[in-house]
Amino acid sequence: MKCDETKPACQKCTSTGRKCDGYSKEIVITLPNDTQAKAVIQRIHTHVPGSSEEKRGLQYFVTHTAVELSGFYSSSFWEHLILQASAAEPSLRHVVIAIGALHEEFACGRLSYEPQFESKGQVFAYNQYVKAIGHLRRSLATGKQAPLTALMSCILFVCFDSIRGAFESALVHLQSGLKILRDVKAHSKEEEHIIQNSITPLFVRLCVQSILYIDTRSTPARRAFVTELSNIGLIDQRTSIPECFENLEEARVSLEKSADDLFRMFYLCDGKILFSPPSTLKQES
């Protein structure tokens, strides 16, 4: 006899005097692979404040943008930390929505770099960006803005400006973040761990990419930029690169250290580009 799925007991059972076993309180989902598991997690329904457009931008960031920014590596910053922080900080939430919305316009071929041809989604993304900056400025004015939140905001602003082609604005946000990173003092061991292992490496990668692709300023300005970068450290400079790597992440850290040292010394010496950068580079921002 087929169950009619009536709760708390099947009527077909109770009407014929049978005892209905009821329903298990635990829901067990059998998934054949990790891809389906992630898809189920992403469909979990949670209460998200904002309009339908804001929810769409946030959803696109979670399902597409964070994956693209992580690249070939699992990133605790893009996949966990920034999403958790954006749930509590309006400035982060609005810029996350802005990036998601702008990324969708880019992916669908609707992103225009001419103001007169901006799409509806592009205008919406810019409005969210302005809201994010407004929340951040009010928090800074009242002295209630946590340094860690300010650092994450700078990273997100750099990403947003890079997507829309506003590279000078992206560099301004990047340098602001470097100044905060240089002066910040962690208030707890957990915060210190996040800054050292998640925030600092991101800033170093962004700086190297900016030197390669978007920093077209004069040689003295580039030297000053690299000097400022030298105030933060990716990893202990005394750490040698091992001959054999135990995992992909260890190889990545060593590669980033080498790239950081190479370009920093290169620009401090003469600031001239002696070779053309590779035409394609897919790496976490």
pLDDT at position 38 is 43
Residue 211 belongs to a domain: yes
Give the rounded distance of the alpha carbon of 278 from its chain centre. Answer: 24
Model pLDDT for residues 150-198, shown as the tens digit of each residue = 899 999 999 999 999 888 899 889 988 888 888 876 677 778 888 887 8
262 lies in a domain?
A: yes
pLDDT value at position 274? Answer: 43
Predicted local confidence at residue 37, as pLDDT: 41
Q: How far apart are CA 151 and CA 172, in angstroms?
A: 13
Cα–Cα distance list, 62 to 28, 70, 167, 180, 253 (Å) = 24, 11, 24, 27, 25
pLDDT of residue 45: 43
Q: Which range marks the domain in which residue 202 is found?
A: 52-235+251-269
User: Is residue 146 included in any domain, yes or no?
Assistant: yes
Neighbours of 251 (CB within 10 A): 14
| CATH code of residue 150 | 1.25.40
Does residue 158 sit within a domain? yes
Total domains present in the chain: 1
User: Which tens digit of pLDDT belongs to each residue from 17-51?
Assistant: 666 655 433 333 343 444 444 443 444 445 667 78
pLDDT at 153: 93
Structural domain contains residue 5: no
Let me know if residue 129 belongs to a domain. yes
Is 29 within a domain?
no
The whole-number pLDDT of residue 280 equals 40
pLDDT at 215: 63
pLDDT beneath 50, residues of the chain: 23-45, 234-238, 271, 273-283, 285
How much is the pLDDT for 26?
A: 36
Assigned token pair, 134? 């407004």
The answer to the question of residue 130 being in a domain is yes
Flag whether the pTM goes above 0.85: no
